[in-house]
């Protein structure tokens, strides 16, 4: 499998799953564009490291995925976008009556609306080149729910729905659109939930991981960023050309329960 000559744009890719996917696609020969809103030296250094390690072109483009114009500028500044990975995401946990409106708005903007803007901006280039892959990083929470995650669950169910629409609108073209639904992956997003959960349940770290985080993940293991990168690479392969408008769960059996 080779992605030589393709360019992958991965939103929210200076850490966690996005960076894992960028590294895997670069390993397959794709040029990659990393993104976050932070614009630090270390963000640019991540791109330089990928270029050096895998011998591909890699660059970092700062753009805030909570802003529609920035989402569209990310695609135009990338130069090319054969593979679009909509990955940027944030989380906030609170009962719905206490859920801050600003957090609701930010989660819907970053986890859902950004993918509308980037996809709308990227499709023209894919059509011109006659090949494209749109891969949305949803979640097990795109298919099931948990209490206290109203905005996140709404955004992730929303992106699964939007994935199906994009697949139908591109069904007769060599473009596919799919969503990957990870269970728990130990990234900064999940790591940040551990201290609060330890306090809330009066548990140590290991117990929180096993009995709270991985409670609904029957494998009792985190999925890894490398496995998600491999799943994205598969969706980019010729073998996946007729896979469109669907979800692939990488969740250790969560959604089988």
The residues assigned a catalytic role are 152
Q: Based on CB atoms, which residue is closest to ligand NAD, 13 or 78?
A: 13
Pick from 3, 6, 16: nearest CA to 227: 16
CB of 237 closer than 8 Å to CB of 169: no
Contact pick of 7, 118, 139, 231 for ligand NAD (by CB under 6 A): 139
Q: Under the criterion CB under 6 A, does residue 110 sit at the interface with ligand NAD?
A: yes
Terminal-residue alpha carbon distance, the chain: 33
Helices 225-236 and 16-27, interaxial angle, to 10°?
A: 50
Name the token pair of 68: 């529609």
Binding of ligand NAD by 90 (CB under 6 A) = yes
Instruction: Work out whether 15 is an interface residue with ligand NAD (CB under 6 A).
Output: yes
Q: Interface with ligand NAD includes 158 (CB under 6 A)?
A: no
In the bound complex, what is the minimum distance in angstroms from residue 176's beta carbon to ligand NAD?
19
Are the C-beta atoms of residues 78 and 61 closer than 8 Å to each other? yes
Segment interacting with ligand NAD, rule: CB under 6 A, options 44-52, 63-71, 97-105, 171-179: 63-71
**Using rule CB under 6 A, residue 229 touches ligand NAD:** no
36 belongs to the binding site for ligand NAD (CB under 6 A): yes
Pairwise CA distance, residues 57 & 55, whole Å: 7
What span, in angstroms and rounded, lies between the C-alpha atoms of 184 and 139? 9
User: Minimum Å distance from CB 98 to ligand NAD?
Assistant: 21
Question: What backbone phi and psi angles, to 5 degrees, belong to 212?
Answer: -110, -60
Please identify which residue in 95, 130, 147, 188 interacts with ligand NAD, judged by CB under 6 A.
188
Per CB under 6 A, the list member of 27, 37, 57, 77 interacting with ligand NAD is 37
- Any contact of residue 137 with ligand NAD (CB under 6 A)? yes
Identify which of 91, 113, 149 has the alpha carbon closest to the alpha carbon of residue 11: 113
Binding site for ligand NAD (CB under 6 A): 12-18, 35-37, 64-66, 87-90, 110-111, 137, 139, 182, 184-185, 187-190
């Amino acid at each position: 499998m080779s992605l030589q000559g393709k360019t992958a744009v991965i939103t929210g890719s200076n850490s966690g799953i996005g960076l894992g996917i960028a590294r895997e696609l670069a390993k397959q020969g794709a040029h990659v564009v990393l993104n976050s809103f932070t614009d630090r030296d270390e963000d640019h250094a991540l791109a330089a490291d990928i270029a050096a390690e895998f011998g591909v072109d890699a660059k970092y483009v700062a753009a805030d995925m909570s802003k529609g114009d920035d989402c569209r500028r990310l695609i135009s500044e990338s130069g090319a976008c054969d593979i679009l990975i909509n990955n940027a995401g944030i989380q906030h946990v609170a009962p719905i009556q206490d859920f801050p409106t600003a957090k609701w708005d930010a989660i819907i903007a970053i986890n859902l609306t950004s993918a509308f803007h980037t996809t709308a901006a990227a499709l023209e280039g894919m059509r011109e080149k006659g090949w494209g892959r749109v891969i949305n990083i949803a979640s097990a929470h795109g298919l099931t729910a948990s209490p206290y995650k109203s905005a996140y669950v709404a955004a992730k169910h929303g992106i699964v729905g939007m994935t199906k629409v994009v697949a139908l609108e591109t069904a007769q073209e060599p473009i596919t659109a799919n969503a990957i639904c990870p269970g728990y992956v130990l990234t900064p997003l999940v790591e940040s939930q551990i201290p609060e959960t330890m306090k809330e349940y009066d548990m140590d770290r290991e117990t929180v991981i096993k009995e709270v985080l991985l409670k609904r993940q029957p494998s009792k293991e985190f999925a890894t960023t490398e496995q998600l990168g491999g799943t994205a690479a598969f969706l980019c392969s010729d073998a996946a050309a007729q896979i469109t408008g669907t979800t692939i769960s990488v969740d250790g059996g969560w959604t089988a329960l």
